[in-house]
Structure 1
Amino acid sequence: MAALYRRIMDYLYLLCVLVGCIALVLISAIIPWAVFTRYVLNSAASWPEPLAILLTIVLTFIGAAAAYRLNLHMNISYFADKLPPLPRRLLDLVVQLLMAVIALFMVIWGEKLVEVTWYNTIADFPFLSVGITYMPIPVGGACLLLFIIERIVLGAPPDPIAHHSEAAPFE
């Protein structure tokens, strides 16, 4: 059962990375288009900025869950690293539980935000529900919560990059 859960989390992680990468690539394509239309064509398009903002929301919440899974997020562990093994494990458990509270907050209140704004539309995209644009908040929170459960129950996932970092340094 543990191996199955780990494998499912691996696939969820890859999906989060894929969604985040697609959002980043689209942002990287949209912003230059906005600059081109504004300064070269002298006729600014209205849609690139709001679309880039919506994609940034996707990148932020879905990408953050993926980064958290492999501990690639920004953290300060200097004092935790100085602790003996048992207090350090207890501190890590407290951190995971606090992160679970944040993830639950994202799921519960994010879902309420989606529900409240579902029938509103965006001026630049009248076909798009505001609720859909806020969907990455509860989805990212759910992914984050699943990754936290994995970390608490099964331990940290193996680092897929670790074996590549042992290559010879540049000379």
Structure 2
Amino acid sequence: MKMKAISIKIEYVFMRVAALFFLAFVVCIFLQLLSRYVPAVTLLWPAEIATYAFIWTMFLGAAVMVHHQEHFKIDYLFEKLTHGRLLAVKMISHLLIGGFGLMMTIFGFQLVHLFWEWTVNTLPQLQQGYLWLALPVSGLAMVWFSISNAVDDLQEYQLERGGRTE
């Protein structure tokens, strides 16, 4: 299977999971409002779940934005450069974003390991490691998407140049 096809499938999954987390976020915010303004309703856990859901939504969305090359992009520079210089800037960008994703993955796994046994105050059966798992998951996706984007840009450059190098 080609990298592009795998990237599209990863994005598909990430977008659906992010949508579910966003839905959970909205429901928890609604429950928090009920808990504040309806005296008979007392819920402490929605704030924690809303935080977890929001963090997961944002990190999954950030990875998808890397796939679309809409993250950390300086449009002005990309519009002014052409051919080999544009490719060089794109490759540096992919390398930096991939390196950032790699650091998220490495340090994210360390945080998951460190906080795995910790529990949430208002929901003791939920481990904090699940929150920190958003870092390595999205970091791995960012690395994958950066590599996939670099391969796509190289192929596009080769097609543009007719297979010749500059």
Q: Same fold (TM over 0.5)?
A: yes
Distance 2:40 2:90 in 1: 54
Q: 1:54 aligns with which of 52, 55, 62?
A: 52
- Counterpart of 1:9? 7
TM-score by length of 2: 0.84
Cα 1:74–1:96, aligned 2, differ >3 Å: closer, same or farther?
Answer: closer
Shift of 1:73: 3.9
1:84 and 2:82 are equivalent in the alignment: yes
SS at match of 1:155: helix
Distance 2:69 2:77 in 1: 17
Distance 2:55 2:152 in 1: 30
- Counterpart of 1:18? 16
Moved over 6 A (4+): none
Distance 1:44 1:78 in 2: 52
Shift of 1:155: 3.3
The structure richer in helix per residue is: 2
Deviations 1:23-73, CA, capped at 9 Å, x for gaps: 111111211221122113365421111111001111111121112211344
The code of the aligned residue for 1:60 comes to M
SS at match of 1:127: strand
Distance 2:22 2:112 in 1: 23
The code of the aligned residue for 2:7 comes to M
Which segment drifts farther, 41-50 or 86-95?
41-50
SS at match of 1:41: coil
Which structure 1 residue ranges, 5 or more long, are not aligned?
157-171
1:28 and 2:41 are equivalent in the alignment: no
Q: 2:130 aligns with which of 114, 129, 132?
A: 132
SS at match of 2:117: coil
Shift of 1:120: 1.2
TM-score by length of 1: 0.82
Alignment of 1:98-137 (within 5 A): 98-137=96-135
Query: Is the 2:90–2:150 Cα contact (8 Å) retained in structure 1?
Result: no
Distance 2:73 2:40 in 1: 44
SS at match of 2:2: helix
- Counterpart of 2:62? 64
SS at match of 2:74: coil
Which segment drifts farther, 94-103 or 82-91?
82-91
Query: Percent identity of the aligned residues?
Result: 25
Which segment drifts farther, 105-114 or 72-81?
72-81
Distance 2:78 2:147 in 1: 21
